[in-house]
Amino acid sequence: MKGRVWRYGDHVNTDLIISGRYLDDYDPRHLARHALEDLDPVFSQDVRYGDIIVAGRNFGCGSSREQAPVALKTAGVAAVVATSFARIFYRNAINIGLPVVECPEAHANFHVGEIALINIEKGILVNESTGRTMRFDPLPPFLLEILRSGGLVSTTRKRFQPKP
């Protein structure tokens, strides 16, 4: 995948990604409209399908709200690259089919608006604007499989489908 970069700092928490005041309505489009609102009001207006977020340490810390990755994914975000992730956000993102990449080098090597190219399976991240190539540990195969099938619901559903 390839996309335009939005860059944020350390400890971007789930309240910043989607505030508690919007959580009574589960409509993903409603969540997307308020994604990252308290951190960067411009984001939800200007984000384009396929954009990539590059952030610092502990991205997604805080609540277990799955609406956080859902809001980003629905807003059009194709992947989040961070120095590190908080564990529940990391799980939630994979479970709803939003690719997450843990790559400590990335934050220092991207600026807003540059173009990132990610090969999730091979663990390669390229800053196309500067030509710099970085590597990361790809997800274990069974997590890649969940991502590939679009999330955990489809993976689990297979267990409950009537056998032919």
Partner 1 sequence: MAPTTFAQKVLAQASGEPAVEPGQIVNARIDLAMSHENAALVLRSFREIGASQVWDRDKMVILFDHRIPANTTKAAENHKAVREFVRAEGLPHFYDMREGICHQVLPEKGHVRPGMLIVGSDSHTTSYGALGAFSTGIGATEMASVWATGELWLKVPRTIRIRFEGDLLPGVMSKDVILNVIGQLGADGADYRCVEYTGPTVDAMSVASRLVLCNMAVEMGAKAGVCFPDQKVQRYLAGRTTKAYVPVVSDADAPVERTLELDVSKLGPQVACPHQVDNVRPVEEVEGLPIDQALIGSCTNGRMEDLIAAASLISGQTVAEGVRLIIVPASREVYLEAMERGILASFVRAGALVLNPGCGPCLGAHQGLLAPGERAITTTNRNFRGRMGSPEAEIYLASPLTVAASAIKGVVTDPRRLML
**Binding site residues, partner 1, CB under 8 A:** 11, 13, 15-16, 19-21, 23-26, 38-39, 57-58, 61-67, 84, 86-88, 91-92, 95-96, 140, 142, 151-153, 156-157, 159-161
Say if CB 5 and CB 54 are below 8 A apart: yes
Round to whole Å and give the CA distance between 36 and 40. Answer: 6
Q: Residue 39 or residue 115: which is nearer to partner 1 going by CB?
A: 39
Q: How far is the CB of 131 from partner 1 (least distance, A)?
A: 31
Nearer of residues 159 and 163 to partner 1, judged by Cβ: 159
Please report how close the Cβ of residue 91 comes to partner 1 at its closest, in angstroms.
6
Please report how close the Cβ of residue 39 comes to partner 1 at its closest, in angstroms.
8
| Strand, helix or coil for residue 91 | helix
Measure the CA–CA gap between 6 and 84, rounded to whole angstroms.
16
CB of 101 to partner 1, least distance (A): 16
User: 17, 76, 79: which is closest to 48 by C-alpha?
Assistant: 76
Report the Cα–Cα distance between both ends of the chain, in Å, rounded. Answer: 35
In terms of CB distance, is 51 or 66 closer to partner 1?
A: 66
| Residue 113: other Cβ atoms inside 10 A | 10
61 or 106: CB nearest partner 1 = 61
Cα–Cα distance, 77 to 80 (Å, whole number): 8
